[in-house]
Structure 1
Amino acid sequence: MPAHGQLLAEQIKTREGLNLFLYPFAGRAVHEGLAAVLALRWSRRVAATFSFSVNDYGLVVTATSVQALDEAALASLLEPDALLQDLSEAVNMSELARRQFREIARVAGLLPPSIPGRALRSLRQLQASSSLLYDVLRQYDPGHMLLRQAEREVLEQQLEVATLQQVVAECAARKLLLTKPRTLTPLSFPLWAESRRGSLSSEDWKQRVRRAAQLLEARHG
């Protein structure tokens, strides 16, 4: 476990690629945003395929076929500068705001109501109407108050951006402890297991995780 004032990072190579494990202990929602930003910034440095997974105490970003990061490179990925811009790009802010705008437009009475005596409008029809309205406002009135409200609600409610900014600033201020274990560690294993949920295999996910846990236990005694 990292000492007070330290930020623990582990780089571990697996068959999936190079895994960067980071442990801010800041909660799942914040880790989602931070992992997306790290993956985006890392992708600007090298051409590779990136994926990430998170839990309540940490995150893992996996890159295919890249060299290990040194402390200086990792520190640059954790810079607080341009955090909001990178976050907006990394999580596709436009699409998130579009979804949030649908509810805002409905509450504001901007979506055509169902006509009495006729069938209720389907979810697809509501989505199409709100999406069209969103696109028109983005093109002709990008500063519209409802667009700004949608983006603000995404940042504050879904991405917890205020907490994320604080966590990134704290990460940058901590002493970075970058280690390169030969195998998965007790901290990294749950994150690795979570990242394998979406992979294709003829084995059940629990079987794969159980087998990996047995191998890890055998290596570490």
Structure 2
Amino acid sequence: MQRDAPNDPDASAELPAIEFDSPGRFSVHNPDTNAPATESRVVISPTTQDRVLQRFSSPEEARAHALALLHQANRSLNLYSPDLEPWLYSNSGIQQACSRFLLAHPRNRLWVLVRDTGRVVREGHQLLTLARRLTSKLHIRKLNPEYPSEDCAFIIVDNRSLLVRPKVDQYAGYALYNDPGKARLRQSQFDQAWDHSLSDPDLRSFLL
């Protein structure tokens, strides 16, 4: 299997504009993960359904791209996250999209790898609530601290689409809506980490 994560696409690529109507002001660096997640009002253009790199730098844009990718999912979803970032994943839009996907077909599944589960266990999370309802379809495991892993965050959809945040302490990242080559490289990275991942007793107790 390919162990190395793919390099970021060329930042110089000219990108189509994303319509953006911000509900407030947010700092781009060092996200305040204690702030409550709000529903995104970013509109994703139909032109994003190709291989053009879509960069984003705000939490609203990140949520909008994540939601657009989740709505495209037909077979598999994989989340790789430091702590299931509440500002990104703990909102009703993401929960409903994941629920719709998981119930759409008996074989659909969502796998989540998290570096630190302590916060979601202490504070709760909408995806944990969903996991309690759909225990056979939504699996959350902890990254093995003894196994090499990349300090980044990403979503893989159907081995075809990606959302990547290269630095977990920043909102900025990019989305690729149709790039199977790069998606497969990330999937290989995810699969290796999953094979070495751990079951967290605290998380398991929470889900029972």
With the shorter chain as reference, the TM-score category is: under 0.3
Give the greater-gyration-radius structure (CA): 1
